[in-house]
Amino acid sequence: MRRYGYVRVSTEHQTNDPQILALRQEGLADGQITQDVISGGVPALQRPGLSTF
C-alpha cells in the first residue's frame, strides 16, 4: 500500500516544517508529501495540495 502525507498551515506566521518532520519520521519520502501554505479560509477540495490525490 502506498502512503501519502498532506500538510498545511493557515497563516503566513506558521510553517509546515514540524508536520513534514513528523511524516518523515513515519517513513514517508519527500515525494510522498504534498503541502499547502496559507490555506486558511479555503475549502479543502479547493486547496491545490489536495488536488494531487
Residue 40: the pLDDT is 75
pLDDT at 53: 61
Could you give the count of Cα atoms lying within 13 Å of 31 in the half-sphere of its Cβ?
Answer: 1
pTM of the model: 0.77
DSSP-assigned states of every residue in 20-47: HHHHHHTT--GGGEEEESS-TTS-GGG-
| pLDDT tens readout for residues 19-50 | 999 999 999 999 999 998 877 787 887 888 87
User: What pLDDT is recorded for position 11?
Assistant: 86
Q: Among the ranges 3-7, 11-15, 43-47, which has the highest mean pLDDT value?
A: 3-7
Domain spans, the chain? 5-52
Which pLDDT score is estimated for 39? 72
